[in-house]
Amino acid sequence: MHDGGFFLIIVLIWVLVSEFVNGWTDAPNAIATVVSTRVLSPSRAVIMAAVLNIIGALATGTAVAATIGKGIVRPEIISLPVVLAAVVTVSTWSTLAWRWGIPTSESHELVAGLAGAGFAVAGPSVLLWEGWQKVLIGLGFSTFLGFFFAVVLMSSLYWMLRRTRLSSIRGIFGKLQIVSAAFMAFSHGSNDGQKYMGVFTLALVLGGVLTKFTVPIWVILACGMMMGLGTAFGGWRIVRTMGYKITKLEPVNGFAAETSAAVAITVASALGIPLSTTHTINTAIMGIGATRGFSAVRWGVAGNIVTVWILTFPVCAVLGYVYAWLLKLVF
């Protein structure tokens, strides 16, 4: 096999590794609340999330994949080392954040890594404003809509259930939360699963395997399966932070948080907007806590999470730049 083919295989393997890390560190967002409220055991929640992440990745088209693969940097002026630098950046920052038990956004890691790596080899002209507009819209979706939807839904539920016995509420929403957690896992697959399909397809185009950017079904299956495997591996540090440390959650709270986040993610996926599922579910949980009063949210923990979110863009852009610069020297 010639050197170009061998390097392409290395890049594709790293993309799948990053998809696995995504399932390992990001997909726990989908099950954190259902585990913390003890509606499902950890093992059942992981199985459900793994299966529905795969289904979500398969069933919702490739609009987000197209945004990532050909809307962030100009594919005609980058090369395979740029893609490799980006996915190595994701694996590096995600693993560090997991080690600290802090949920981070693989979406922002990926676009920042691509931007930094592209900048290293081609300068600022490599960036595409149209795709970055969608990223910025996604930032608004994940940060504000998750919080707003959760506040509105939770406040509405408090009003509707104000005369209902607490034991009845727990019984009803214990069952409903299984549905909302399934919806959250499906929506995670519909958005996050597509991002790595886009990068995988971009690598195939740059490597000369594909002549135009069209996501093959086998790429959808491969990326969906890797994310499912990563989810099955589990990210319990992230589950503990989200499910127990931000605010106290009952099944009705978990239902409201998951439903609010899943609706925002589903809308974004339909519009081809890559957003952070991590931001969306975390801000939804904060919104749930805020409906019980400012002191119901552990703002110190929330502040640590937000600090990592803020650092993600610049740190991953720099990592992408450095990795691409090093790869350019070697190759």
User: Of the candidates 18, 130, 9, which has an alpha carbon nearest to the alpha carbon of residue 74?
Assistant: 130
Mean pLDDT of 249-263: 88
pLDDT at 74: 92
154 close to 256: Cβ distance less than 8 angstroms: yes
The residue among 174 and 201 whose pLDDT is bigger is 201
Residues, the chain: 331
pLDDT of residue 1: 43
Domain count for the chain, please give it.
1
How sure is the predictor about 299, in pLDDT bands with cuts at 50, 70 and 90?
confident
> How far is residue 115 CA from its own chain's centroid?
18
Give the residue among 128, 132, 95 at the shortest CA–CA distance from 319: 95
3-state SS, residue 127: strand
- Would the pLDDT of 200 be above 90? yes
Say which range, 25-29, 82-86, 325-329, has the weakest mean pLDDT: 25-29
Confidence of residue 246 (pLDDT cuts 50, 70, 90): low
What does each C-alpha distance from 137 to 108, 109, 131, 132 come to in angstroms? 12, 16, 10, 8
Task: Please give the Cα distance from 164 to 232 (Å, whole number).
Answer: 37
pLDDT at 201: 94
Count Cβ atoms below 10 Å from residue 165 Cβ, excluding itself. Answer: 9
Choose among 83, 54, 14: nearest CA to 227.
54
Range list of H helices, the chain: 3-25, 32-36, 42-59, 63-71, 80-100, 106-122, 129-140, 146-160, 166-206, 217-233, 236-240, 251-270, 277-290, 299-330
Exposure string over 122-158, b if 16+ CB within 10 A, otherwise e: beeebbbeebbebbeebbebbbebbbebbbebbeebe
Confidence at residue 2, expressed as pLDDT on a 0 to 100 scale: 46
Q: Are 281 and 46 in contact (CB under 8 A)?
A: no
Question: Quick check: 238 and 98 in contact, CB under 8 A?
Answer: yes
Owning domain of residue 298: 3-330
Q: Please compute the mean of the pLDDT values over residues 199-221 and round it to a whole number.
A: 92
Residue 209 pLDDT grade (very low, low, confident, very high; cuts 50, 70, 90): very high
- Once rounded to an integer, what is the mean pLDDT over residues 186-213? 89
Instruction: Judge whether residue 280 has pLDDT over 70.
Output: yes
Amino acid at 80: L
pLDDT(247) > 70? no
Over its C-alpha atoms, the chain yields an Rg (Å, rounded) of 19
**CA dihedral sign of residues 313, 316, 322, 327:** negative
What is the overall mean pLDDT for the chain?
84
Residue 238: pLDDT band by 50, 70, 90 thresholds?
low
pLDDT of residue 151: 93
Q: How far apart are CA 309 and CA 313, in angstroms?
A: 8
* DSSP state at residue 128: -
Give per-residue pLDDT as tens, 172-194: 988 898 999 899 889 888 887 78
Q: What is the mean pLDDT of residues 47-74?
A: 84
Q: Is the pLDDT of residue 286 over 60?
A: yes
What pLDDT is stored for residue 155 in this prediction? 93
Q: If 0-12 CB within 10 Å is exposed, 13-18 middle and 19+ buried, where does residue 232 land?
A: middle
- Show the tokens assigned to 23: 């399932």
